[in-house]
Amino acid sequence: VEPDLTYTVAAARLPTISDLQTSTAGLPANFDRETYLSIPAPPPAVVSLLQQAQTLPSQWDKFDFLRNQILDNVGATGTGSPVSITPERIQDMLAGSKEGSPFEIVAAQAMLARWAGVPSRIGYGFDGGELVEDVLQVRPKHGATFVEVYFPTYKWLPVIGVPKKAKPTVGSDPGT
């Protein structure tokens, strides 16, 4: 990269929570429902949460309620290495150990979205960086996984959240 390189990012405005709450557009006919909505049957703890979410007025409200159940009640533990997540693991995270790795917490949010009928996937990108001598430096340790949900009017939207509880993992992640 040449010194003093500059660039401009042109992007659409992000929707507000109100925009998402009032979004009623259906999925396009060519949307890949099999890839982004397919999921095994939910475990009992999820069935209970889905029943509570059904009383909420919008798809966004349902998803937000469900994802916050994970963020508020499941503590992060360990590193965020990607692993396969089953409905039984979600049951344990919600009603058993109440713990999960950062990746499992994101995967749980994506699974809950699908169980609620909101297309979802897991995204990866960089969240933050370090300001060093007035320059923002972004390194691999700033990488993060997050859930992305699909609302037809706005397409894929990243939703970043942080669990309220976490066990210390100092020295356990070679990326830091």
Are 161 and 71 within 8 A, CB to CB?
yes
* Nearest CA-CA partner of 69 in 97, 44, 98, 39: 98
Q: Tell me the mean pLDDT in the region 50-77.
A: 97
Give 55-77 as a DSSP string. TSSSHHHHHHHHHHHHHHH-EE-
What pLDDT, in 10s, does the model give residues 5-53?
A: 887 878 778 899 999 999 999 999 999 999 999 999 999 999 999 999 9
Q: Which residue has the tokens 């499941």?
A: 74
Amino acid type, 88: E
Are 35 and 159 within 8 A, CB to CB?
no
Q: What is the pLDDT of residue 9?
A: 75
pTM for the model stands at 0.85
- Residue 176: pLDDT band with limits 50, 70, 90: very low
What pLDDT, in 10s, does the model give residues 78-102?
A: 877 888 999 999 999 999 999 999 9
Q: Is 115 helix (H, G, I), strand (E, B) or coil?
A: helix
For residue 109, give the DSSP letter.
Answer: H
Amino acid type, 124: Y
